[in-house]
Amino acid sequence: PYSIKRASKVQENKFLAAHSKKFRRGKMLTKFESKSNRVKGLAFHHHRPWILTSLHNGVIQLWDYRIGTLIDRFDEHDGPVRGVDFHRAQPLIVSGGDDYRVKVWDFKLRRCLFTLLGHLDYIRTVNFHIEYPWLVSASDDQTIRIWNWQSRSCVSVLTGHNHYVMCASFHVKDDLIVSASLDQTVRVWDITGLRKKTVRGATPGATPALQDAASASSVVSRVNSDLFGGNDAVVKYVLEGHDRGVNWASFHPTLPLIISGADDRQVKLWRMNETKAWEVDTMRGHNNNVSCVVFHPKQELIISNSEDRSIRVWDISKRLGVQTFRRENDRFWILAAHSNQNLLAAGHDSGMIVFKLERERPAFATYGKHLFYVKERYLRQYDISNGNDVPLLPLRRPVHMQSSLGNNLRSLEYNSMNPSEHSLLLFSDVDGGSYELLAFAKDTAISEGSDAKRGAALAAVFFTRNRIAILDKNRQIVIRDAMNEKRKAISFLSNASPDGMFFGGSAGRVLIRSDDKMILFEPQSRRVLGEIQAARVKYIAWNHDASYVALVSKHGVIIANKELEQLCSITETVRVKGGAWDNSSRIFVYTTLNHIKYCIPNGDSGLVRTLDVPIYITEVQAKKVICIDRECRVRVVSVDLTEAMFKLALDEKNYRQVMQIVRQSHLCGKAIINYLDNKGFAEVALHFVDDLRSRFKLALACGNIEVATDTAHEIGSEDCWNHLAIEAMRQGNYKTVEMAYQRIKNFERLSFLYFITGQNEKLRKMLKIAEMRKDIMAQYHNTLFLGDVVERCRILEIAGLSALAQTCAQAHALDDETQDKNNGQLLLPPTPIIRADNWPLLAMSTVGLYNTLETKDETFVSDDQEVGGWGLETSIDDDLGGPDNNNILPNEENDGWGDDLDLGEDIDTSQVSKEQVVSSEKNLIPTPGVPPPSLWCRASSHAAHHAAAGSLVSSMNLLNRQIAATNFAPLKSKMLQTFHGVHTVLPGHAFSVPMTIHLSSQVHENPSTKIPASTFLLSDTVDNLKIGYRHFQKGNFSQAKESFISILLSIPLIVVDTRSAVNEVKELVEISREYITAIRLKNANAETEGVRQLELSALFTHCKLQPVHLMLALNLAMSQAYKLGNFITAAGFARRILELPDTSSGAQGGMHRKAELVLQKSEKQARNEFTLNYDERNPFVVDCNQLIPIFHGTASIQCAFCGSSYSSDAKDSLCSTCNVATIGVETIGLINHAQMNKF
């Protein structure tokens, strides 16, 4: 026997060696992965995207694999849980574990409903019946039990196995159970008798006597079945063939097949009919025990996993392994297949994975009214206009290629640049990538033998009308003609590694995917036209005029223009499947796993509808979407894009279309209401609101007191009346305020309202009401408001405050006995100025949606809205330096206001009497001139000139626009110095006012073009720079930092005339920035020790310093690196010192000699003791916030003023170098030349 067994083992090894090449090592399409304790049981929910996992530590987890979240956990078992299952229709879960218990749970109630007891050993698997209220459990007590979960009792015990029963499950349709045991057998049980007995009840037409006899016999049979096992379930087949214990067996869902896996490392396929079952074939390939084996839900495949850390896929028809997936350190224990989706799950030692074997996205392309797609290895054409669907030609691969192109297509692209014929490019990523070029005439039948041009490539797209561009395996772009002949090979950028390519929107352009960015490239001129950061783009969609492109990744959509400038970005929590632009080319409609959504270029997005199954959009029309599902069926889905068109019309200021949508559509929901409220269109949102409280809030937001009052009447809430009173008081509508306070009986505020509006009669009524309410305090307040001292004293007497009453009377000089006010002087409250119905309001013309419909050629602008954002044309004078009316100092007479008031034009002569009109010209009053500071503001857009004019606010506004300045505290002294530097005072005669003189830079013929004299000169700044150099050389870093910061703060107020001077100013900014950063690094270096100190000194050496200063920095870094034991780093600093000029004398000569010695000793050691966050070979910039390197390729942002670099996390914060500008804001840049505005 030993020799026979050894011979069979040798044969098996030969077989495995012969067929090992047929297994293709693959990478599974992982949809979800969890990390946990060892997973022993798995079960998919039949309808929802849920999966159950039972763990070896006794916990049951419920996961949503679509969004990757843990929904719930159940923890009542004592010990490992080995089996779980979902009920197909009810919210039930069944579990079985090592505590011998079967538990039934309700996942809605989140608790265990009951426990079934009966097994005497570990429970291996549990399984619900698809139709009957049964569940089956397999146990190590060598029995299989069938339970009725409604009656909570055991209805049958199946005995026959003489070892552990490892699994048992129901057939999907037939009255069969399959079980596997360590007794090396697979048994098929017939439970027809049990079904007839427990489900259908008594035989129809039986007499009562027969029914009594049947019931008596059923009792006897139930007792016998409990003791000996009944005949309700009988063994139909016993499948023998495995050499060791069988771990798993399962039915095929539709065919009469059984699959089994055992400890003999074999997977066996069995077939059965009505009378017998036999072995069909044995599949070998696993190197350890086969843990589980299942049939694929939709393909003729078998999936098995094993303790050899692999999952293998077998072809049923060929009986060979076609794919293998491996893990490095985890053994697999369990498999589960979804009942109606192409999803599989596998549990292993450290968690579980949900995966697919291949992509389900169909390959398709749309052009005009035609949809081309691939289905069942046929290229088909669908006519969108009439719904005709016809096959065009079969897709076949040459014999030497392993897989079928029709089953593994990645993409299908149509050549829209060639109107004369149909040109299609099919691409597959199997075997490293390949493409197939098809071309055929329109309206022509295609024969099966049509010639196709094929080739290998990483990507392939149409380039021009008769050219294609492919990305070969050498990362070169190869241009081929229509005959697939190579025309040109173009190497891409040296610093990029392209791994994908897409159509570029127009002829001669391609989109290159490289790492986490997309590059718009023109191969003919080898130019990069645009670049955008986008993480792993999978698909792109150009709109009809190629003005916008949507870049679709796994969990997001980026909208960019044709220059690849990002307009907006949308992030989703679930996978994005694709999308298409609508007919207007401004709304991008895309799908996720369960929704259809939209987004527009301004970033607004929303939900269109939900989906039952994932679909892929091919065409978006007015009210429908043409799409294709995973079964390659073309579907037409109705959609309503009114909300998207509404938001688009608002964004484009198309008010006429907005009001048309408001009147004709039925937009509703909190999302659209919040959107309108956030965008400042609360008045429009009132049309969509039926909820009273929401309507009330919107009415207050837009100041519509009438609507708010009507809504408050309907609500009747005290809180609403309070808010209404506050808003009405803000608008001066005190009639509404009075009504609101009367409604809620707020007598205190009502009395104060009457007081400030001077309504004394109503105040006296309030006094009487207070007396009726016996409210002493309210009476006293009303007498104060009325100024009635006599009544006030009387109230104090009534309150028992005689002393206060006497004091009040004496203060107002009243007679103590008669309280007569003959000689008294009462302290009365002031009289209100206005006693009208409501406070007067200024009537203003406003722009809005409703005025747009009433006026055709007129446009009104609201004073509280910005003109530029609404597309209204403004005067060029306002944009280029017209001073703001609020931008002057309050103590200056017309200084900086810029209000050029011409009294001769503004006076209405129709109101002047005849006596005031003088005909002689000598009696005309001269028009006063405009002060020079006002002319300075009008003549220049330089911040220094506005500061000199005293218009500090407009100066700050200019700096905010130019350099994103937000913190003006450091610039305060400089601005005041600029102001005082151009103003002087000449004393006049005695008792006369001194004369203020405004100093201009030069005398102009036209006074309106004068500009002030310059306070800060470029030459003075250069002298200050030399002082900073001397302090830095001497090591006085605090004084040097003050000098460089002073230079940096003076630069925004320096005015120069020539282009060369402008360049010098920019150079001063760069020098000051580098030295300030260097000083910050040096100070931080002195405060730290160890590795961080060496990192700071290394960064110190990369600041752009003068050679003599750089040598000092390198000497410091070299010394610290050598002392710390980083000899390789020290040698690098030494080489850089030796590359600097050698004076051969003095301190610098000594540094060169020291560097030579350090280099010699470091090369002998040739090691680094510590790893630094520093690499001199990798270009980087210094993060001025954290003082760490930002290496090339990492996203960074800059200060708009000084140009300091920062990581992306520092966006919108204050620059640490200049302490003036905001980081990451794009501006036009600092203006230093004297720019003159033209009138």
Mean pLDDT, residues 180-194: 93
Distance CA 22, CA 1002 (A): 91
Rounded CA separation 445/458 (Å)? 31
Pairing of strands 527-533, 50-55: unpaired
Rounded to the nearest 10 degrees, the angle between the axes of helix 1090-1100 and helix 1059-1087 is 160
Instruction: Check whether 179 has a pLDDT greater than 60.
Output: yes
* Contact indicator for 409, 363 with CB cutoff of 8 Å: yes
Which residues are bridge partners to 533 per DSSP? Answer: 517
Instruction: Write out pLDDT tens, residues 479-493.
Output: 998 888 888 888 876
For residue 878, pLDDT over 90 is answered with no
- Residue 593 reports pLDDT greater than 70: yes
Question: What number of other Cβ atoms are within 10 A of residue 1144's Cβ?
Answer: 9
Q: CA 1002 to CA 987: how far, in whole Å?
A: 23
pLDDT at site 658:
79
Between residues 628 and 219, the one the model is more confident about: 628
Least confident span in 344-358, 434-448, 1160-1174: 434-448
Tell me if the pTM is above 0.75: no
Residue 59 CB neighbours (<10 A): 17
- In whole angstroms, what is the distance from residue 474 CA to residue 466 CA? 24
Question: For residue 53, what pLDDT is reported?
Answer: 96
In this structure, what DSSP letter does residue 1053 have? G
Lowest-confidence range among 698-707, 969-978, 1087-1096? Answer: 698-707
Phi, psi of 730 (to 5 degrees): -65, -35
- Asked if 315 and 322 touch (Cβ cutoff 8 Å), the reply is yes
827/986 Cα distance (integer angstroms): 50
- pLDDT score for 1002: 63
* Mean pLDDT value across residues 506-518: 89
Mean pLDDT score of the chain? 81
Q: What per-residue confidence (pLDDT) applies to 887?
A: 36
The pLDDT of residue 574 is above 50: yes
Q: Residue 670 has what pLDDT? A: 67
| φ and ψ of 372, to 5 deg | -105, 130
d(C-alpha 1096, C-alpha 1082), whole Å: 7
**Looking at residue 19, what is its pLDDT?**
42
Mean pLDDT across 1042-1046: 92
Instruction: State the Cα–Cα distance between residues 778 and 785, nearest whole angstrom.
Output: 11
200 C-beta neighbours (distance < 10 Å), count: 9
Residue 502: burial class (beta carbons within 10 Å; 0-12, 13-18, 19+): buried
Give the tens place of pLDDT for each residue, 600-633.
999 989 889 998 888 999 999 888 999 999 888 9
Which residues touch 235 (CB under 8 Å, ≥6 apart)? 160, 187, 188, 189, 190
pLDDT in tens, 734-788: 788 888 888 888 888 888 888 888 788 888 888 888 888 888 888 888 888 887 8
* Mean local confidence (pLDDT), 566-590: 91
Contact indicator for 576, 641 with CB cutoff of 8 Å: no
Largest CA distance in the chain: 142
User: Is 221 or 467 the better-scoring residue by pLDDT?
Assistant: 467
The two tokens of residue 1230 are 């600092």
Q: What is the pLDDT at residue 75?
A: 92
Mean pLDDT, to the nearest integer, of 349-364? 90
How high is the pLDDT of residue 1193? 82
Report the alpha-carbon distance of residue 1036 to residue 1051 in Å, rounded.
23
* Angle of CA points 651, 653, 659, to nearest 5°: 105
Question: HEC states along 303-355?
Answer: EEEECCCEEEEEECCCCEEEEEEECCCCCEEEEEECCCCCCEEEEECCEEEEE
In the block, residue with structure tokens 């207050």: 700
Indicate if the alpha-carbon torsion angle 1121, 1127, 1129, 1131 is positive or negative. Answer: positive
- Average of pLDDT values for 894-904? 33
Report the SS3 class of residue 236: strand
Q: Is pLDDT at 530 greater than 70 in this prediction?
A: yes
Beta bridge partners of 436: 426, 454
Dihedral over Cα of 703, 707, 710, 711: its sign = negative
Does 288 score more than 90 pLDDT?
yes
Where b means 16+ CB within 10 Å and e means fewer, 421-442 reads: ebbbbbbbebeebbbbbbbbee
Contact (Cβ atoms closer than 8 angstroms) between residue 625 and residue 577: no
pLDDT of residue 806: 84
- DSSP, collapsed to helix, strand or coil, labels residue 564 as coil
Convert the pLDDT of each residue in 799-850 to its tens digit: 888 888 888 887 777 765 444 444 445 556 666 655 656 766 655 544 455 4
pLDDT of residue 706: 83
Q: Which of 269, 287, 286 is nearest to 278 (CA)?
A: 269
Give the confidence band of 578 by pLDDT, cuts at 50, 70, 90. very high
pLDDT tens for 108-136 read: 999 999 999 999 999 999 999 999 999 99
**931 alpha carbon, distance to own chain's centre:** 54
779 vs 199, which has greater pLDDT?
Answer: 779
Residue 1166 has pLDDT above 90, yes or no: no
Quickly state the pLDDT bin for 651 (edges 50, 70, 90).
confident
The whole-number pLDDT of residue 304 equals 95
Mean pLDDT of 968-996: 79
Taking residues 443-450, what's their average pLDDT? 54
Q: What is the pLDDT of residue 18?
A: 41
| Nearest one of 484, 494, 488, 493 to 508, comparing CA atoms | 488
Mean pLDDT score, 1165-1191: 88
What is the C-alpha end-to-end distance of the chain, expressed in Å? 112
Q: What mean pLDDT do residues 888-912 have? A: 34
Q: What percent of the chain has pLDDT over 90?
A: 33
Between these two residues, 2 and 1138, which has the higher pLDDT value? 1138
Tokens of 1167: 């090691």
pLDDT > 90? residue 99: yes
As a whole number of angstroms, the distance between CA 379 and CA 396 comes to 11
Which phi-psi region, left, alpha or beta, contains residue 1229 (left: φ > 0; alpha: ψ -120 to 50)?
left
How much is the average pLDDT of 1211-1217? 91
213 vs 228: CA distance, rounded Å: 22
pLDDT in tens, 989-1008: 555 677 788 787 765 556 55
Please give the Cα distance from 1026 to 1013 (Å, whole number): 25
Burial class of residue 540 (count of CB atoms within 10 Å of its CB; 0-12, 13-18, 19+): buried
User: Which H or E element spans position 1147?
Assistant: helix 1146-1165
Query: In terms of DSSP bridges, do strands 517-522 and 527-533 run parallel, antiparallel, or are they unpaired?
Result: antiparallel
Compare 862 and 369 and report the one with higher pLDDT: 369
- Whether the CA torsion 878, 881, 882, 886 is positive or negative: it is positive
Contacts of 716-724 spanning 24+ positions with Cβ under 8 A:
718/744, 720/693, 720/696, 722/746, 723/696, 724/696, 724/700
Q: What is the pLDDT of residue 396?
A: 65
Residue type, 319: R
Ranked by mean pLDDT, the top range of 123-127, 425-429, 660-664, 907-911 is 123-127
How does pLDDT run across 140-172, given as a tens digit for each residue?
999 999 999 999 999 999 999 999 999 999 999
A 10 A CB-CB count for 1125 gives: 14
**Nearest alpha carbon to residue 440 among 459, 414, 464, 461:** 414
- Residue keyed to tokens 């010394």: 1119
Q: Please say if the pLDDT value at position 296 is more than 60.
A: yes
Rounded-to-integer distance, Cα 446 and Cα 423, Å: 13
Q: Can you tell me which residue has the tokens 């003076």?
A: 1050
- Asked if residue 265 has pLDDT above 90, the reply is yes
Strand residue runs (E) in 358-496: 364-367, 370-375, 378-383, 389-394, 409-414, 421-428, 434-441, 453-456, 459-464, 467-471, 476-481, 486-491
Q: Is the pLDDT of residue 1229 over 70?
A: yes
Identity of residue 845: S
Amino acid at 337: A
CB neighbours of 485 closer than 8 A, spacing ≥ 6? Answer: none
